[in-house]
Amino acid sequence: MIVIPAVDLRGGSCVQLVGGDYADERVRLDDPLAVARDWSRIGFSRLHVVDLDAATSRGANTEVIRDLLREASVPVQVGGGVREDTQIERLLDDGASWVVIGTRAIEDEDWRGEMAHRFPGRLIIAADVRERRVVTRGWAETSRLDVIDFVQELAVLPLAGVLVTAVHKEGKMEGTDLPLMEDVADASAWPVFASGGVSSFEDLRALEHRGLAGAVLGMALYTGALDARRLAEEYGV
């Protein structure tokens, strides 16, 4: 299993939010390129970049992402507000190894299928979840879609993976939602990456034991709750 540091962008800075709440910003670092360089230098072999402003229609961090991709020494997956084929093309052209798509991929089955076949092996579908229901538009809207049903529908598409974020755990440092992640891993035909609440090596070992391919970490890394060098040594590759 691999650990992937999150670089969440808001207003040109790298931030960490609690529970997806814009009013509860716990971490802010003004130089996201330096942050990305540090994670690579420590030994992590992949980065997860999210444009929070684009995800919530508050703006975009396009130039920051372009600069980050240009400078990156490790593969980068990028998401947040990607709802058009032109955005996918641009991100891949700019150097993203994978593009993470969420809201439109959930709401528009035809577009989801078209994009997956147009960019085989380059897309990761994000299913952000609150109490087993998929949420969209920057976690602002809760659908009636059960995450297990949704993940099973993805088996026919040539994806790079599925990213499941337990929104109700995000940034709270209370441990991940293991039953949710285990059920998703069992249901998915594709590698599953977990996000939300990971706060200990025990959490990571439990996820690994349950068949998760990776975990995206934010708050635990940025607050120093987990030792980044030890993480990179054990789960960096």
What CATH number does the domain containing 113 carry?
A: 3.20.20.70
Stretch among 41-50, 160-169, 180-189, 211-220 having the lowest mean pLDDT: 160-169
Q: Which of 51, 128, 177, 203 is catalytic?
A: 128
Q: Confirm whether 128 is a catalytic residue.
A: yes
Distance, in Å, from the CA atom of 142 to the CA atom of 144, rounded to the nearest integer, reads 7
Nearest to 5 by CA among 36, 34, 26: 36
Residue carrying the six token digits 């087993």: 132
Residue 67 annotated among the catalytic residues of the structure: no
Q: Of 8, 51, 177, 203, which one is the catalytic site residue?
A: 8
Taking CA atoms, 224 is separated from 33, 38, 186, 233, in Å, by 19, 14, 31, 16
Report, as an integer, the average pLDDT of 101-118: 96
Number of separate domains in the chain: 1
Q: Considering just the CA atoms, what is the radius of gyration of the chain in Å?
A: 16
Alpha carbons within 13 A on the beta-carbon side of 90: 11
Count of residues in the chain: 237
User: Whole-model pTM?
Assistant: 0.93
Kindly indicate the confidence band of residue 106, based on its pLDDT and cuts at 50, 70 and 90: very high
Please report the sign of the dihedral spanned by the C-alpha atoms of residue 21, residue 5, residue 105, residue 203.
negative
Tell me: pLDDT of 47 over 70: yes
Characterize the bridge pairing of strands 2-10 and 13-18.
antiparallel
Report the alpha-carbon distance of residue 11 to residue 103 in Å, rounded.
Answer: 21
**What pLDDT does residue 172 have?**
62
CB 4 within 8 A of CB 216: yes
For residue 159, the number of C-alpha atoms closer than 13 Å in the C-beta half-sphere is: 24
| Structural domain containing residue 40 | 2-235
- Per the prediction, the chain carries an average pLDDT of 92
137-179 pLDDT, tens per residue?
Answer: 655 567 678 999 999 999 999 999 999 998 876 666 678 899 9
Buried b or exposed e, range 43-74, using 16+ CB within 10 angstroms: bbbbbbbbbbbbbbeeebbbebbbebbeebeb
Give, for 215, the enclosing helix (H) or strand (E).
strand 214-217
